[in-house]
Amino acid sequence: MGFIKKLPDVIANKIAAGEVVQRPASAVKELLENAIDAGADEITLIIKDAGKTLIQVIDNGCGMSEDDAMLAFERFATSKISTVEDLEDLHTLGFRGEALASIASIAQIELKTKRREDTLASLVRIDGGVFQETSKTHAPDGTSIAVRNLFYNIPARRKFLKSDTTEFKHIYDTILAQTLAHPEIKWKFISDGDEVFHLTTHSLNERLNHFFGKDFSNGLIEFKESNDFANVQGFLGKPAMMKRTKNEQFLFINRRITQSRQLHHAIMQGYGELLGEREQPFYLIYLEMEPRRFDVNVHPTKMEVRFEDERNVYNLILSVVKKTVSGMDFSPSVVIEEKPDTLRADSTPSESSSNFYKPSFSEFPGVQKRLSYNERDFEVRSSNALYADFKREIEPSAAPTHPSAPEQPSFSDASFEPPIDAPKSREYQLIFQSSETESDSLKGAFPVQLHNRYILTQIKSGLMLIDQHVAHERILYERALTVMDAGISNSQQLLFPHRIELKPWDMKVLEELRQDLEKLGFSFRQFSQHSVVVEGVPSDVKPGAEEKILFELIEQYLDYQQSLKLEKRDNIAKSYACRNAIMAGDKLSQREMTLLIDQLFATSMPYVCPHGRPIIIKLSLSELDKMFGRT
C-alpha cells in the first residue's frame, strides 16, 4: 500500500481556510461580497466580540433555492463562472467557490435564504463542515448567514487572533471600504448590540463626511479621466490633510477592493514634493476597465491583481494624480488684525502702530512652549555625565557682531529657559559678510538650522548634526515616562474644551488607556457614543493641536501595536512623542535650537530616538580634511 492518500474534504477545507479566512474580517469580506453579488441594495452586518463569537450578514438579495443552499457549502461550488473563459470576463466579486466551504469548516453556520417566488425559506445548519440540519422555515426575501465561534475547532489558530479592538478595526475597515465602493447600497453595522452606523444616503460626499469628519469632502479634489484603455475617477486629499498612516487610502478596480504597490507608488509619485517625510495622502480612486485586461485570480483573498499592461495603468494613474494636484490652490489665507492704539508696557512705538505688521520670529508658534518644562515634571537622570561631556566639547563662540542680531543664550547656561509668555523677538538671521575672514565665520551664531530639518553646531572635534524631530521625540518620550511614573499632574486645562469625533475602535482604545493618559496629562469625558470632550492636555502639547493630539495619539498607538507590538505604557509614550514632536520643516529660532540641544543631552540616551534611529552625527575635522584633500 502506498504512502500517499487523499485527504478528507473536512481536513482539506480546514487547510484552505487558512488562506481564505485569516481573521474575522476575512470572513466578513467574503460574506459581504456574496451579498453584493446577490444584487442586494440593503445589507446589515452584526458582530459580537469583534467577530469571534458571531458574524451575521443579512441582505435582501435574490436568495437561493434549497438545493443551491446546500451546494453552496461544497468546495469549488459557485454560480459565478462555469468555463475557463469566464475567468477573463468576471463581473462579480466572488468566483472561486472556496469561501463558504472554508468558513463552514472552522465555524458553526446557520443559513436562512429565500427567493421571492418561494413561499418558505430554506434553513441549513453546519457544524465544523458537517451538515446538521436542512429544513424549511419562515424568513424574509434574501439571505441571512450567521457564523458563530470562528476557529472553535482550531484552538491553535484562534489563540493567534489579536485583541477585540484590533479585530474590530479590521472589520470596520472592511465594511467601510465596501460602503465607499458601493454607495448605491444601504448599509447597517451593529457591534455587540450597539449600532455603529446606518447609512441610507447614496451621496458619496455625505458618506465621506460621516466617516472622516464634518466637511471632510470639502478638502478633497475630485477628478475624472477617460481613455480607450480605462476610466478613472475619484478624490484626492490636499497636502494639509496628510497623515502618517495609510488607513485612509482606497483603490477600487471595477468596484473591487484592491491593493497594488505599483499603483500606490504611482499616486505617491504624482504628489511628488507636496508630500513631506513619511506623509501619506488620502485618496479614493475608482478604476474601471475591461475584466480581460487584469487578473484577480492571484491570491485566495482576491485583493491582489495583475495587469495585462502594468506600464499603461501606472502611467495613467501617475498622470491623472499629477494633473489633479497641479491644479490645487495652495495659496494661504492671510488675516492681518489691527493692533490697539494703546501701547503695551513692553512694546515700542513702532510695534503699536495700527498698520504695522511684524512677523513672529518663528513660523511655527508654540515650538518654544513644547521645549519648556518644569523640573518637577522631568528629572535629569543618569545622563548628567553625558551632558557634562557635551558641554565641555562645545567650543565657546563669540557673540554675533551683526547689529540686528539679538543677544543669544550661552550653551553653558544650563538653566536657560525662555518663559512661555515672553514676547518673541525677530528671528535671528545668520549673515556672513563678504569681508569676514574664515576665523570670523566660524565664530558666527551657532547652532544653525539646515533646511528646517537639521541643527548644525560646532564642537571642538569638528561638526555635529542633530535631527530636530527625533531629538525632540527622545525628549518627549523620556518626559512622558517620567510624568506617568511620578503621578504628578501634568495637565493644562483648556479655556475652551474641544469635542472630537472618534471611530468606534478608537473609543475602545481610549477606555483601555484612560488611566495612563490621565497620568500623562489628558483630561476628557465622553460626550456621545463616538465622541469625547477634551478638557485638558499635557503642558507641552503644541498650540493649535489640542483638538487632534488625542486622536493622533490613538492612531499612532494602534499602528505601533500592530507593527512593533510594544508594551502598553511604552507604546503610549512613543506614540505621544512621535505625534507631538517638532517636525522636519518646523523653523526654529536660535533660542529654541539651544534649548532643544540642552534638553537632549539631559536625557538618558541622547544618541538614538525611541525607535532606534540616530539623533546625532559627528564629522571630525580630520574627516573633513580628507574630504577636501587636506592631508
Say how far apart CA 550 and CA 570 lie, in whole Å.
16
Q: Please, what sign has the CA dihedral across residues 593, 596, 601, 606?
A: negative
Residue 317 has pLDDT above 90, yes or no: yes
Are 251 and 285 in contact, with CB atoms under 8 Å apart? yes
Element (H, E) at 166: helix 164-181
Say how far apart CA 139 and CA 122 lie, in whole Å.
9
How large is the C-alpha radius of gyration of the chain? 30
May I ask the CATH architecture of the domain 367-470+588-627?
A: 2-Layer Sandwich (3.30)
Decide: helix, strand or coil at residue 59. strand
Q: Range(s) for CATH 3.30.1370.100 in the chain?
A: 489-580
* Model pTM score: 0.63
What contacts 122, CB < 8 A, 6 or more positions away?
A: 64, 65, 66, 69, 111, 112, 113, 114, 134, 135, 136, 137
Q: Which CATH class is domain 210-326?
A: alpha beta
Domain 489-580 has CATH 3.30.1370.100: yes
Cell of 188: 447597517
Residue 508 has pLDDT above 80, yes or no: yes
- Give counts: helices (H), strands (E), the chain: 18, 22
Nearest to 22 by CA among 148, 147, 170: 170
Q: Range(s) for CATH 3.30.1540.20 in the chain?
A: 367-470+588-627
Residue 520 has pLDDT above 50, yes or no: yes
Q: Range(s) for CATH 3.30.230.10 in the chain?
A: 210-326
Average pLDDT, the chain: 78
Q: Cell numbers 475617477 correspond to what residue?
A: 233
Q: Range(s) for CATH 3.30.565.10 in the chain?
A: 9-201
Give the model's pLDDT for residue 300.
Answer: 63
Q: What angle do CA 441, 442, 448 make, to 5 degrees?
A: 90
Cell of 19: 488562506
Give the model's pLDDT for residue 361.
Answer: 30
Residue 357 has pLDDT above 60, yes or no: no
Decide: helix, strand or coil at residue 22. coil
Q: Where are the alpha helices (DSSP H) in 182-291?
A: 204-212, 261-271
Are 256 and 296 in contact, with CB atoms under 8 Å apart? yes
Nearest to 123 by CA among 502, 59, 114: 114
Q: What is the DSSP letter of 185?
A: S
Tens-place pLDDT, residues 229-263? 899 999 998 876 777 777 789 999 999 998 888 89
Give the model's pLDDT for residue 427.
Answer: 29
Kindly report the three-state secondary structure assignment for every residue of 81-149: CCCHHHHHCCCCCCCCCCHHHHHHHCCEEEEEEECCCCCCEEEEEEECCEEEEEEEECCCCEEEEEEEC
Tens-place pLDDT, residues 51-107? 999 999 999 999 999 999 999 888 777 766 556 665 666 667 766 668 898 899 999
Cell of 530: 463616538
Give the model's pLDDT for residue 433.
Answer: 28
Ramachandran category for residue 552: left, alpha or beta (phi over 0 → left; psi -120 to 50 → alpha): alpha
Element (H, E) at 199: strand 194-199
Helix, strand, coil share (%) of the chain residues, nearest 5: 35, 20, 45
Ramachandran category for residue 220: left, alpha or beta (phi over 0 → left; psi -120 to 50 → alpha): beta
Q: What is the DSSP letter of 364?
A: S
Give the model's pLDDT for residue 393.
Answer: 58
Tens-place pLDDT, residues 550-598? 888 988 888 888 777 788 899 999 999 999 999 888 899 988 998 999 8
Element (H, E) at 226: strand 220-226
Say how far apart CA 274 and CA 242 lie, in whole Å.
10
Tens-place pLDDT, residues 404-421? 333 433 333 333 333 333
Element (H, E) at 48: strand 42-48
Residue 342 has pLDDT above 70, yes or no: no
What contacts 137, CB < 8 A, 6 or more positions away?
A: 112, 120, 121, 122, 123
Say how far apart CA 234 and CA 527 lie, in whole Å.
34
Domain 9-201 has CATH 3.40.228.10: no
Cis peptide before 447 (omega within 30 of 0): yes
